[in-house]
């Protein structure tokens, strides 16, 4: 990849992006030379992906089968806010349950802690121990086939254990298992596409949340009944998984998308500290482990946000801005959920259900965010909306808990207020996250049409300059921080590279002289957002429209050329034959010379109409000979100077316009000025043609002239070529006409 030449309209702003920008020439060139994604899935990667998919599906099937066959409690228990379990009779009368008696006669006390779905979100150590003991006693009793529930009035109710069955696992279970399997497969794809450290860290976070989703799915089964010891490991293992996610997050944000100074040391210290914390939690040698885990997660989240903010300040990258906002959103949600659960404690009823819902939605929120990360630069509108709704749901449940506990609001009032605030947050966050970070701030249709029309007209006039005009339009559309030129055409369609940091737009081959290559845009909107698949599709549509406009113009020009050839042929065959006949029948020598000169002009005209292009050197020779003959016939002296550094091709429109301008100016001199000398000075420098026709006639005050067909035709033809014309007096007498055409030879006309 080479930097764009300063003579074109390309401009780079790499000073702000720094030396390690995603558009840096050597790095991006190497990345673009990688084998396409389709080639990566040939060989061991494809076999590994198929094997991983089979392993994941088999594991999910075995888990479903094991849980479906597991015995469960065949009656529904309800909790009372005083901590008492209740069993509802057939006639609707609630009866208090004090404990259970298994088949061996062993008794165990029960309370509303039994109904809590997860030990991970019980803050007090004593509550977790009592919860695990009750769940273990229930599991042992169910394994024997039947049990008795001891009621408050001294009576007992015999309950038969029955398998859960696949149909009774519940909608939340299937959602969690599906999301876990999907996240697992995406993780395998990310690892196999590019096995590297940052993708390995993503795999650590994603697989940890896969484990959380599996725990969540098992805990969400409506009927009570899980293996003995399950709840004792629920808190410890899930805490370890969350700590691994937090450590990997700190490590990843320190090295991606930019490597920060000292990131390796910080990552090592965080990994060691959290590994030690996880080991003490798993060995159950730490008091208040829930608080330690939550504090560690919140601290790691704050450190990740700080590192991403540091990246944006030192060396801006759009992915850093996206990740910082995501991490800030997750950190705020986790803090709110932690405060809510700590404030409400192990209650039951609506508050207990809100705790369970909030904890479950938090896990789904994190998993959906991780599932979204590999597709940030692609259109995944459904997943984006799902992630935001999951986060807002967690916020709503947390606010509901806080309003009930702290402000003592009623259930209806707290729920209404929480939903109102959450919906407001959703509306603002959706605009903030989706529109500003991933979806482009679209320019208006009027501006888009104006830009496209202007560039299309310029490209139509000069198709070989599309490599200069197209970046101007793309710059106005996307406001990139960097625009560079890749000497190879890496693909036929625009595509996003560098995880959304860059957009590769191929330059269309509008003419054989169009150089092959691609335009690389880096850091949309000055590095404030990422490029997306929508941007790639928009760039493709713009390029297609430009190609169609040029193709249409070329088709029109071909039609004009064919029509000019037909007219030239008709003039040559019909008018030329008649002039030739008249010349041989001319009564006088003067008339014969006049007809011969007219016939010569006709041949020059028809030859010019039939030819698609004219060499400037040939045209200059014809102009000089024609003007010299006409001035000689009028007994007028002639001075001619025409200098040009290089010969070039004139389009038929340019040749025709210049020929008629010169003829009209000379005709005016002969017919009206009664001059005795005409001087024509012309020069062509860097594509700018300057033509001056000066006479010594009696013309005066050109500003007062009325521009009829002659002078009006001169102005019209010069304007058609994009130039300007001006008449002025010359001392001691005469008029000078100066014509300036700034871009001669840059269009085929």
Evaluate if residue 396 carries a pLDDT over 90.
Answer: no
669-694 residue pLDDT tens: 887 778 889 999 998 888 889 999 99
- If one compares 25 and 359, the residue with the highest pLDDT of the two is 359
Predicted confidence (pLDDT) at residue 475 exceeds the cutoff of 70: yes
Q: For the chain, what is the mean pLDDT? A: 77
The answer to whether 655 and 608 have CB atoms below 8 angstroms apart is yes
DSSP one-letter string for 712-733: HHHHHHHHHTT-EEEEEE-SSS
Residue 308 CA, chain-centre distance (Å), reads: 20
Dihedral angle over CA of 469, 470, 472, 473, nearest 10: 130
| Average pLDDT of the residues in 684-709 | 83
Residue corresponding to tokens 């002025």: 728
If you average pLDDT over each of 186-200, 266-280, 547-561, 735-749, which comes out highest? 266-280
Please write the tens of the pLDDT for every residue from 581-605: 676 677 777 777 766 777 666 666 6
For residue 547, give both structure tokens: 């190609």
Task: Give the helix ranges, DSSP H, for 497-651.
Answer: 524-527, 533-570, 576-584, 589-610, 616-633
Q: Is the pLDDT score of 84 beyond 70? A: yes
For residues 403 and 350, is the Cβ–Cβ distance under 8 A? no
Task: Say which residue, 84 or 640, is predicted with more confidence.
Answer: 640
Q: Which tokens in the block code for residue 520?
A: 């690389």
- The Cα–Cα gap between 138 and 73 comes to 9
Q: Does position 490 have pLDDT exceeding 90, yes or no?
A: no
Q: Which residues 6+ apart lie within 8 Å of 727 measured at CB?
A: 702, 703, 705, 735, 736, 737, 738
Q: 326 and 369 in contact (C-beta within 8 Å)?
A: yes
Evaluate whether 422 touches 354 at the Cβ level (below 8 Å).
no
CB within 8 A of 388, min separation 6: which ones?
Answer: 426, 429, 430, 433, 434
- pLDDT reported for residue 206: 92
pLDDT category at 236 given cuts 50, 70, 90 is: very high
C-alpha to C-alpha distance for 431 and 634, rounded to whole angstroms: 78
Count Cα atoms within 13 angstroms, Cβ side, for 445. Answer: 0
Least confident of 28-32, 255-259, 536-540, 654-658: 28-32
pLDDT at 40: 56
pLDDT of 437 = 44
Q: What is the pLDDT of residue 439?
A: 41
Q: Name the band, by pLDDT with cuts 50, 70 and 90, for residue 152.
A: confident
Torsion (CA) 497, 498, 499, 500 in degrees, nearest 10: -60
Residue 4: the pLDDT is 38
User: How far is the C-alpha of 581 from the C-alpha of 298, rounded, in Å?
Assistant: 102
User: What would the mean pLDDT of 379-396 be, rounded to a whole number?
Assistant: 57
CB neighbour burial string for 607-641, b if at least 16 within 10 angstroms, e if fewer? ebbbbeebebeebbeebeebbeebbeeeebebeee
Q: How far apart are CA 251 and CA 358, in angstroms?
A: 28
Q: How confident is the model at residue 284 (pLDDT cuts 50, 70, 90)?
A: confident
What separation in angstroms does the CA of 230 have from each of 120, 130, 226, 237? 11, 13, 7, 10
Q: What is the DSSP string of 501-522?
A: TEEEEEPP--STTSPP-EEEEE
- How many CB atoms lie under 10 A from the CB of residue 407? 10
* C-alpha dist (Å) from residue 378 to 184, 436, 448, 661: 19, 15, 23, 56
Q: What is the pLDDT of residue 23?
A: 43
Where do we find the tokens 């006390």? 109
Q: List, for residues 90-128, the tens digit of each pLDDT value.
A: 677 788 888 998 888 888 888 888 888 888 888 888 888
Is the pLDDT confidence value at 141 over 50?
yes
DSSP assigned state of 2: B
What confidence tens digit (pLDDT) does each residue in 176-226 have? 898 899 899 989 988 888 888 888 999 999 999 999 999 989 988 888 888
Above 90 in pLDDT, residue 617? no
Residues above pLDDT 90, as percent of the chain: 17
Query: pLDDT of 300-319, one tens digit each?
Result: 999 999 999 998 888 877 77
**CA dist., res. 412 & res. 266, Å (int):** 47
Residue 76, H or E segment = none
Please state, in angstroms and rounded to a whole number, the distance separating the CA atoms of residues 723 and 248: 65
Calculate mean pLDDT across residues 560-573.
67
Asked whether the beta carbons of 385 and 538 are under 8 A apart, the reply is: no
DSSP state of 20: T
How far is it, in rounded angstroms, from Cα 335 to Cα 414?
Answer: 19
Distance between terminal CA atoms of the chain?
Answer: 34
Residue 446 has what pLDDT? 54
> What pLDDT score does 42 carry?
59
Tens digit of each residue's pLDDT (9 = 90 or more) over 405-447: 555 555 545 555 555 565 566 556 555 555 544 444 445 555 6
Give the mean pLDDT of 227-247: 92
**Secondary structure of residue 699 in the 3-state scheme:** coil
pLDDT at residue number 41? 54
Instruction: Please determine, for residue 31, whether its predicted confidence score (pLDDT) is greater than 60.
Output: no
* pLDDT given at position 452: 64
- pLDDT-derived band of residue 497, with 50, 70 and 90 as boundaries? confident
Which pTM does this prediction carry? Answer: 0.63
Q: Burial, 147: exposed, middle or buried (Cβ in 10 Å; 0-12, 13-18, 19+)?
A: buried
Domains and CATH numbers, the chain: 70-163 (no CATH), 632-749 (3.30.565.10)
Residues 10 and 473: their CA atoms lie apart, in Å, by 11
* Cross-sheet strand order for the sheet of 495-497: 482-486, 518-522, 502-506, 495-497
pLDDT the model gives residue 407: 56
- Residue with the bigger pLDDT between 472 and 384: it is 472
Query: Does position 15 have pLDDT exceeding 60, yes or no?
Result: no
| Residue 504, beta-bridge partner list | 495, 520
Burial (CB < 10 A; 0-12, 13-18, 19+), residue 421, is middle
pLDDT at 719: 87
Q: For position 17, what pLDDT does the model report?
A: 39
Neighbours of 272 (CB within 10 A): 11
Residue 482 has pLDDT above 80, yes or no: no
pLDDT of residue 570: 65
How much is the pLDDT for 192? 87
Task: Judge contact between 258 and 317, C-beta under 8 A.
Answer: yes
pLDDT of 50 higher than 70: yes
Question: Lowest-confidence range among 263-267, 407-411, 723-727?
Answer: 407-411
DSSP 3-state assignment of 475?
helix
Percentage of the chain with pLDDT > 70?
A: 69
| CA within 13 Å, CB half, 534 | 16
Q: How far is the C-alpha of 586 from the C-alpha of 564, rounded, in Å?
A: 30
Strand partners, 677: 637
């Amino acid at each position: 990849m080479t930097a764009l030449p300063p003579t074109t309209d390309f401009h780079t702003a790499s000073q702000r992006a720094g030396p390690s920008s995603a558009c840096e020439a050597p790095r991006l060139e190497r990345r673009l030379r990688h084998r396409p994604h389709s080639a990566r899935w040939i060989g061991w990667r494809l076999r590994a992906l198929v094997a991983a998919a089979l392993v994941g599906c088999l594991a999910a099937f075995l888990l479903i089968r094991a849980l479906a066959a597991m015995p469960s409690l065949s009656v529904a228990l309800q909790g009372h806010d005083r901590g008492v379990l209740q069993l509802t009779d057939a006639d609707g009368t609630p009866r208090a349950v004090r404990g259970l008696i298994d088949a061996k006669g062993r008794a165990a006390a029960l309370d509303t802690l039994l109904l809590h779905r997860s030990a991970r979100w019980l803050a007090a150590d004593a509550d977790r121990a009592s919860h695990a003991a009750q769940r273990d006693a229930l599991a042992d009793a169910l394994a024997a086939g039947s049990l008795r529930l001891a009621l408050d009035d001294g009576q007992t109710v015999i309950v038969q254990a029955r398998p859960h069955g696949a149909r009774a696992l519940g909608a939340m279970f299937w959602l969690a298992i599906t999301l876990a399997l999907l996240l697992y497969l995406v993780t395998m794809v990310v690892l196999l596409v590019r096995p590297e450290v940052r993708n390995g860290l993503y795999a650590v976070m994603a697989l940890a949340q896969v484990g959380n989703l599996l725990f969540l799915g098992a805990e969400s089964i409506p009927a009570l009944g899980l293996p003995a010891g399950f709840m004792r490991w629920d808190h410890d293992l899930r805490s370890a998984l969350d700590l691994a996610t937090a450590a990997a997050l700190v490590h990843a944000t320190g090295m991606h998308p930019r490597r920060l100074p000292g990131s390796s040391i910080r990552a090592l210290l965080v990994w060691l500290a959290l590994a030690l914390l996880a080991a003490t939690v798993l060995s159950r040698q730490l008091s208040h482990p829930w608080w330690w885990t939550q504090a560690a997660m919140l601290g790691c989240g704050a450190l990740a946000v700080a590192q991403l903010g540091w990246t944006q300040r030192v060396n801006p990258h759009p992915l850093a801005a996206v990740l910082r906002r995501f991490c800030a959103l997750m950190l705020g949600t986790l803090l709110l959920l932690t405060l809510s659960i700590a404030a409400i404690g192990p209650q039951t009823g609506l508050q207990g259900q809100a705790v369970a819902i909030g904890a479950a939605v938090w896990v789904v929120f994190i998993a959906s965010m991780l599932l979204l990360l590999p597709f940030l630069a692609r259109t995944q509108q459904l997943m984006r909306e799902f992630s935001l709704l999951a986060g807002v749901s967690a916020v709503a449940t947390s606010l509901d808990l806080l309003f009930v506990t702290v402000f003592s609001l009623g259930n209806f009032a707290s729920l209404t207020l929480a939903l109102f605030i959450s919906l407001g947050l959703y509306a603002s966050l959706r605009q903030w996250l989706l529109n500003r970070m991933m979806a482009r701030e679209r320019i208006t249709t009027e501006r888009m049409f104006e830009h496209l029309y202007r560039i299309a007209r310029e490209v139509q006039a000069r198709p070989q300059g599309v490599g200069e005009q197209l970046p101007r339009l793309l710059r106005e559309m996307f406001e990139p921080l960097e625009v560079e030129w890749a000497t190879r055409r890496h693909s036929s369609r625009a595509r996003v590279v560098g995880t959304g940091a860059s957009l590769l737009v191929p330059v269309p081959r509008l003419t054989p002289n169009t150089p092959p290559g691609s335009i690389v845009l880096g850091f949309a909107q000055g590095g404030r957002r990422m490029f997306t698949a929508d941007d790639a599709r928009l760039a493709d549509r713009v390029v297609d429209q430009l190609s169609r406009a040029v193709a249409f113009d070329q088709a029109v020009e071909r039609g004009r050329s064919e029509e000019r050839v037909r007219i030239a042929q008709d003039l040559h065959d019909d008018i030329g034959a008649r002039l030739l006949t008249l010349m041989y029948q001319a009564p006088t020598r003067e008339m014969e010379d006049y007809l011969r000169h007219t016939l010569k002009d006709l041949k020059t005209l028809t030859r010019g109409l039939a030819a698609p292009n004219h060499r400037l050197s040939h045209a200059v020779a014809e102009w000089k000979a024609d003007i010299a003959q006409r001035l000689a016939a009028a007994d007028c002296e002639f001075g001619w100077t025409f200098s040009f550094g290089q010969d070039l091709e004139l389009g038929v429109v340019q040749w025709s316009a210049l020929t008629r301008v010169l003829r009209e100016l000379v005709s005016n001199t002969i017919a009206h000025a009664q001059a005795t000398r005409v001087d024509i000075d012309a020069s062509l420098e860097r594509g700018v043609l300057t033509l001056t026709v000066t006479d010594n006639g009696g013309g005066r005050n050109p500003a007062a002239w009325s521009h009829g067909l002659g002078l009006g035709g001169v102005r019209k033809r010069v304007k058609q070529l994009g130039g300007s014309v001006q008449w002025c007096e010359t001392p001691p007498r005469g008029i000078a006409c100066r014509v300036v055409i700034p871009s001669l030879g840059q269009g085929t006309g």
